[in-house]
């Protein structure tokens, strides 16, 4: 496919492409291309922002996002969607790995795989124009798309290109042909991307090439470092870098955004909605907070407080699994009553009833009156059968003498089978025993 000039500069993802004007310590200037990949993050090539023959790191950066830059005329023909001339910035790049020999005008494949740079900005340009995602693992030969401002062009250029990943080094390679039109200097740092769920995902950064070949650094090779840098760049935006999504004292339905969110849902049964299926996210749960992130879109990372449910495109994950919390209590009660892990549909049914107001005691009474419970303990089990059975089926051990005597006394004082079942299921011992089964949440489908 031959490259074409982009005229719809306000459309995604073209509006998230940046033209870079870089000044080095010796006064020389370089032009390049970048891609907005986060709220305040621009991805480009190391050699665009670092030149060992020109004094090292860039001393000045000018970024014009979504601009129609005419390389032949050396001037912009439209006003950029966003222009950044005076802003705080910092760069994470790999100059020592990109320039390993004395020939700095060309890069070897081992150098090109490190030819990636992330510019952090004090302006949240991504909030204005949107941003590309970043993806790794695209190792098969495929059709991808290139964008850049190559020398001799009259604007932002775009085209499909057939690429292959090198078997030894972290680079993508394309050969010039009638259907593969490559871009020249000026496109350095430009994104190589694919489409995934209507999001443009950068898989490579234009590094080097000739009239017959082009090479892009594979993002997957430096993915971990880029991820860390995107997170660290949030400090450039100050304490208000993340969006605060606040709930009320009641049951809230909240919506996550494609950015850095802090969700404080408050009291009540609160649900946070994500637009994609759950496989697109990684989730970490600790005692007080939950973190949700998209590995393929590094700037999309959320911190959640007091959120009970996550609703994805393919189902619901219950996070309320702690002591006395609805989903966890339902799971433990089910497991305690029937000495088995609950099936998904059955557990979801009881959780739905408990969400609607049915208490643990009533659920336990229904379990005790069920045919399955009767099959385990008998129709009218004695105190001895219940105590011994609960110890064995809930805690997986025989009762110690003092424990048996304690529960025998409680039952003689009027404690019934359902009440004792709730106490066993929510005991510290059973909480510890079942934690590994549900500490990452309960998938309700």
pLDDT value at position 299?
66
Least confident among 8-12, 47-51, 82-86, 364-368: 82-86
Q: Is a pLDDT exceeding 90 seen at residue 352?
A: yes
* Distance from the Cα of residue 319 to its chain's centroid: 18
Mean pLDDT of 219-230: 92
Judge contact between 383 and 411, C-beta under 8 A.
Answer: yes
Alpha helices (H) in 69-193, listed in sequence order: 95-98, 109-112, 125-129
Residue 199 Cα distances to 69, 93, 119, 193, angstroms: 25, 25, 21, 10
Least confident among 116-125, 148-157, 173-182, 345-354: 173-182
pLDDT value at position 198?
80
**Residue 55 φ/ψ region, left for φ over 0, alpha for ψ in the -120 to 50 degree band, beta for the rest:** left
Judge contact between 49 and 90, C-beta under 8 A.
Answer: no
- The b/e string for 182-202 (b: 16+ C-beta within 10 A; e otherwise) is bbbbbbbbbbbbbebeebbbb
Judge contact between 207 and 190, C-beta under 8 A.
Answer: no
CB-based contacts of 408: which residues, under 8 Å, 6+ apart? 383, 384, 387
- Rg over alpha carbons for the chain, rounded to the nearest Å, is 29
Per-residue pLDDT reduced to its tens digit, 61-77: 999 999 999 999 999 99
Measuring CA to CA, which residue among 244, 282, 287, 292 is closest to residue 266? 244
Indicate the average pLDDT of the chain.
91
CB atoms inside a 10 Å sphere around CB 174: 22
Mean pLDDT of 27-47: 96
pLDDT band (50, 70, 90) for residue 242: low
Per-residue pLDDT reduced to its tens digit, 337-348: 999 999 999 999
Measuring CA to CA, which residue among 242, 268, 270 is closest to residue 257? 242
Q: Is a pLDDT exceeding 70 seen at residue 21?
A: yes
What six digits make up the tokens of 8? 């719809």
* % of the chain surpassing 90 pLDDT: 74
Judge contact between 118 and 43, C-beta under 8 A.
Answer: yes
**Beta pairing, strands 41-44 & 117-121:** antiparallel
What six digits make up the tokens of 14? 């073209």
Residue bearing the bigger pLDDT, 78 or 115: 115
Beta-strand ranges (E) seen in 224-373 are 243-246, 253-255, 261-264, 271-273, 282-285, 290-294, 297-305, 309-312, 315-318
Judge contact between 134 and 191, C-beta under 8 A.
Answer: no
Residue bearing the bigger pLDDT, 248 or 169: 169
pLDDT band (50, 70, 90) for residue 116: very high
Mean pLDDT of 219-232: 91
| 65 three-class SS | strand
Per-residue pLDDT reduced to its tens digit, 70-105: 999 999 998 887 776 667 899 999 999 999 999 998
Per-residue pLDDT reduced to its tens digit, 401-416: 999 999 999 999 999 9
Burial (Cβ within 10 Å: 0-12, 13-18, ≥19) of residue 428: exposed
Helices 383-395, 401-412: crossing angle, 10 deg rounding:
130
Least confident among 138-147, 152-161, 247-256: 247-256
pLDDT value at position 398?
94
CATH code, 326-443: 1.10.3130
Architecture of the domain whose range is 4-231: Beta Barrel (2.40)
Mean pLDDT of 370-390: 92
Residue bearing the bigger pLDDT, 148 or 87: 148
Measuring CA to CA, which residue among 321, 255, 253 is closest to residue 286? 321
End-to-end CA distance of the chain: 43
CB atoms inside a 10 Å sphere around CB 286: 8
| Vertex 211 angle, CA 183 and 73, to 5° | 50
Q: Where are the domains of the chain?
A: 4-231, 242-318, 326-443
pTM of the shown model: 0.60
Residue 403 Cα distances to 231, 346, 377, 389, angstroms: 51, 32, 19, 13
Rounded to whole angstroms, how far apart are CA atoms 292 and 160? 33
pLDDT value at position 359?
95
Per-residue pLDDT reduced to its tens digit, 282-333: 898 887 889 898 877 766 788 899 999 999 999 999 999 999 999 999 999 9
**Beta pairing, strands 271-273 & 253-255:** parallel
Judge contact between 283 and 290, C-beta under 8 A.
Answer: yes
Mean pLDDT of 365-373: 94
Residue bearing the bigger pLDDT, 177 or 46: 46
Per-residue pLDDT reduced to its tens digit, 161-178: 999 999 999 999 999 987
Rounded to whole angstroms, how far apart are CA atoms 333 and 323? 12
Helices 417-425, 383-395: crossing angle, 10 deg rounding:
20
Q: Is a pLDDT exceeding 90 seen at residue 228?
A: no
């Amino acid at each position: 496919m031959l490259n074409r000039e982009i005229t719809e500069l306000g459309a995604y993802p073209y509006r998230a492409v940046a033209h870079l004007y870089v000044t080095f310590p010796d006064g020389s200037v370089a032009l390049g291309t970048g891609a907005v990949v986060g709220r305040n993050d621009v991805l480009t090539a190391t050699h665009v922002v670092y030149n060992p023959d020109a004094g090292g790191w860039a001393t000045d950066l000018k970024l014009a996002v979504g601009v129609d830059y005419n390389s032949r005329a050396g001037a912009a023909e439209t006003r950029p969607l966003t222009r950044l001339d005076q802003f705080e910035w910092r760069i994470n790049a790999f100059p020592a790995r990109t320039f390993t020999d004395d020939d700095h005008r060309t890069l070897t494949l081992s150098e090109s795989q490190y030819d990636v740079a992330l510019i952090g900005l004090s302006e949240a340009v991504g909030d204005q124009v949107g941003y590309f995602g970043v993806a790794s693992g695209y190792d098969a030969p495929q059709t991808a798309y290139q964008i850049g401002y190559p020398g001799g062009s009259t604007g932002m250029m775009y085209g499909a290109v057939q690429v292959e990943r090198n078997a030894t080094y972290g680079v993508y390679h394309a050969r010039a042909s009638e259907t593969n039109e490559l871009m020249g200097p000026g496109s350095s740092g430009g994104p190589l991307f694919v489409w995934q769920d209507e999001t443009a995902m950068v898989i490579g950064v234009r590094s080097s090439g000739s009239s017959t070949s082009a090479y892009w650094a594979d993002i997957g090779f430096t993915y971990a470092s880029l991820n860390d840098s995107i997170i660290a760049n949030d400090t450039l935006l100050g304490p208000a870098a993340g969006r605060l999504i606040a709930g009320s004292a009641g049951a809230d339905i909240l919506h996550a955004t494609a950015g850095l969110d802090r969700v404080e849902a408050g009291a009540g049964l609160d649900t946070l909605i994500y637009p994609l299926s759950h496989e697109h996210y990684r989730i970490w749960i600790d005692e007080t907070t939950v973190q949700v992130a998209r590995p393929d879109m590094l700037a999309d990372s959320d911190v959640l407080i007091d959120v009970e449910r996550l609703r994805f495109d393919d189902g619901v994950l219950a996070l309320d699994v702690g002591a006395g919390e609805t989903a966890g209590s339902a799971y433990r009660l089910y497991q305690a009553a029937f000495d088995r892990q609950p099936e998904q549909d059955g557990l979801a049914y009881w959780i739905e009833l408990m969400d609607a107001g049915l208490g643990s005691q009533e659920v336990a009474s229904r379990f005790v009156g069920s045919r399955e419970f009767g099959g385990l303990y008998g129709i009218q089990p004695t105190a001895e059968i219940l105590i011994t059975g609960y110890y064995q089926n809930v805690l997986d051990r025989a009762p110690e003498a003092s424990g048996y005597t304690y529960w025998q006394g409680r039952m003689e004082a009027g404690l019934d089978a359902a009440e004792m079942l709730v106490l066993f299921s929510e005991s510290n011992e059973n909480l510890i025993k079942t934690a590994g089964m549900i500490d990452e949440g309960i998938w309700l489908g």
